[in-house]
Structure 1
Amino acid sequence: MLSSELADLAGVTVRTLRHYHQIGLLAEPPRTSGDYRQYDVGHLVRVLRIARLTALGVPLSTLPEVLDDPSAAEELLDQLDRQAAAEIERLTARRASIGVLRRAGAPPDLPPELSAWHAEPGPDVPEDMARFEHEQLILIAHLLGEEGVTGLAALLDVPESTREAAAALTSRFYALDDDTPDDEIEALIEGWVEQIRPLVTTMEGMSSLDPLGAALLDQLGARSLRPVQHRAVRALQQHLEQDRPDAHDARGRRDVR
């Protein structure tokens, strides 16, 4: 039979047959006087075996030893079973993540752990602020890593009263502009500090942002926020840094010197 006939019978393409020849999976058949490859049923059986094994997930690079050594089959099946089990586990986890995001109405580019915290923004949230908060969460999630995101999600799982207080402070932050009096800005920062300080204490020992991560978040704020809002965020960070135990220790060491 010719290449096209073998390909039709085996359910592959002529290009696939040529590739099998090139990598040594399929021996070259004799040629006719017209220089056409002339295959027989042995070639067909070989191609059918190759197709079956590749359908099971066997890589082409492993096929020669499997095709030519029947004793390798049991070990191969064990390996394929482990790979299939791992793939099922990954797909099951992926479906679970999709389900969490759909139920929360959260964007698909966020980790599922943060979906409850950042669902669809309300109508009163300015578009630029919604975009900033979304991008900020994406960046924080990447910088903290999987373990850090899990810890952050646990900290954000707060009572409804705390969420309402946070929402009130956030609304005041949204409204900051160049005309906002300094005392109002300072009052907002103090309110933030009082609300966030217990979380900072709880986070001791958890994954935290390194200086590069903090710098990247600062760059995001400088790019996305109004100048007065960016200054307020920086002031909040400075207050929280001063509250850290290691910051007190560092100041104490400097005082001793």
Structure 2
Amino acid sequence: MAWSTSQLAELAGTTLKTVRHYHKTGLLDEPERAANGYKQYGVKHLVRLLRIRRLVDLGLPLSDIPSVEAADERGEQILRALDAELAASIERQQRVRRELAAILDNRASIDLPTGFKTLVDDLPKAQRSLLLAYSSILTPSAMSAIQEQLSAPRSDVAAQFEALPADAPEDVRRQLGQRLAPEVRKQQKDHPFLRDLQASSRRGGAITQSVVVQALAEFYNEAQLDVLRRVHALLSEDDAAGA
């Protein structure tokens, strides 16, 4: 018993349009026609169509099917390349699932770069936003160093800086700057890249500076920025005296 095109498509779990397309590309030979002009397909056409569908379902482009079927060196290269592509895709999907799990576990983790999940509950929102901005410019090694630095218990002076109100009086700013300077100096000693973020950037100097400046201005209030300026001035004076 011979089958019509629609019957063949149904048996192979595909569509009439797909069968006709395979005829057009030369992947599937057209069968003989009956006296009434209708195509008559047999089991060899079904087997051929199922084979094509299997390769297509594996992700193989139609143009590569003849090479793979020839079982030559090029065919093996095509299959190995496809396997490598699928492995990379699986790895990416697994990474995405890990990130989704972190977000589901704590929605606040969306405010941090990937891998900073454990710091979510310990960092103020402004600092989380700052880190997210920095992730667009700093190298992975620099971001890892920042993560290591932030994993240490936060000092009292750091907590006071984060909680500093915008209308803090001048004497409070001055004292906080004097107390914060030695801590920043120690951080720079432990992590030298903090002295020059541009040297640890994946971007050009101008774009790196613009991200840092705009992020600080956006996520810290005027009193905090004033304290940072004082800290910078103190450290510069120490460097000049040492030189």
Q: TM-score, normalised by structure 2?
A: 0.71
Q: 1:94 to 1:202 in 2, by over 3 A?
A: same
Return closer, same or farther for 1:229/1:35 CA change in 2, 3 Å cut-off.
farther
Q: Matched residues in 2 for 1:62 and 1:232: separation?
A: 64
1:174-194 deviation line (CA, Å, top 9, x unaligned): x123xx322222333333333
* 1:79 Cα deviation from its structure 2 partner: 4.4
**Whole-Å Cα distance in 1 between the matches of residues 177 and 37 of structure 2?**
85
Which of 162, 167, 174 in structure 2 is aligned with 1:170?
A: 162
Identity %: 29
Q: Distance in 2 between matches of 1:211 and 1:95?
A: 35
What is the distance in 2 between the residues matched to 1:35 and 1:232? 88
Q: Could you tell me how far 1:39 is from its partner in structure 2?
A: 4.0
Q: What is the SS of the residue equivalent to 1:70?
A: coil
Residues in 2 aligned to 1:98 and 1:55: alpha-carbon distance in whole angstroms: 28
CA shift, 1:15, in A, is 3.4
CA-to-aligned-CA distance 1:189-241 (integer Å, 9 cap, x gap): 33333322211222225862444222123223444554x24742762684488
Question: Cα 1:103–1:223, aligned 2, differ >3 Å: closer, same or farther?
Answer: closer
Residues 225/204 of structure 1: CA separation in 2 closer, same or farther (3 Å cut): closer
Q: What code does the residue aligned with 1:208 have?
A: S
For the residues of structure 2 that align with 1:104 and 1:215, how far apart are their CA atoms? 31
TM-superposed CA distance for 1:171, in Å, is 0.9
Asked whether the equivalents of residues 222 and 230 of structure 1 are also in contact (C-alpha less than 8 Å), the reply is no
Task: Tell me the SS of whatever aligns to 2:115.
Answer: helix
For residues 127 and 14 of structure 2, what CA distance do their matches in structure 1 show? 51
CA distance in 2 between partners of 1:168 and 1:191 (Å): 10
CA RMSD of the aligned region, Å?
3.8
Aligned to 1:196: 184
Aligned twin of 1:219: 214
1:133 matches 2:127:
yes
* Closer, same or farther: CA 145–240 of 1 in aligned 2, 3 Å: farther
Q: How far 1:83 sits from its partner (Å)?
A: 4.2
1:13 corresponds, among 8, 12, 15, to: 15
- Structure 2: gaps spanning 5 or more residues: none
Given that 2:68 and 2:76 are in contact with CA atoms closer than 8 Å, whether structure 1 keeps it comes out as no
Answer yes or no: is the 8 Å Cα contact 1:106–1:116 preserved in 2: no
SS at match of 1:9: helix
How does 1:24-39 map onto structure 2 within 5 Å?
24-28=26-30, 38-39=40-41
Q: Take 2:83 and 2:105, find their aligned partners in 1: how far apart are those partners?
A: 33
Change in Cα spacing, 1:242 to 1:88, as seen in structure 2 (3 Å) is same
Q: Deviations over 1:108-139 (max 9, x none)?
A: 46333322223387xxx6xxxx2x43332211
Q: Which runs of 5 or more residues in structure 1 are unaligned?
A: 253-257
Distance 1:242 1:30, change over 3 A: farther
Cα separation, 1, equivalents of 2:190 and 2:51: 60
Give the number of the structure with larger relative contact order, counting CA–CA contacts within 8 Å between residues 6 or more apart: 2
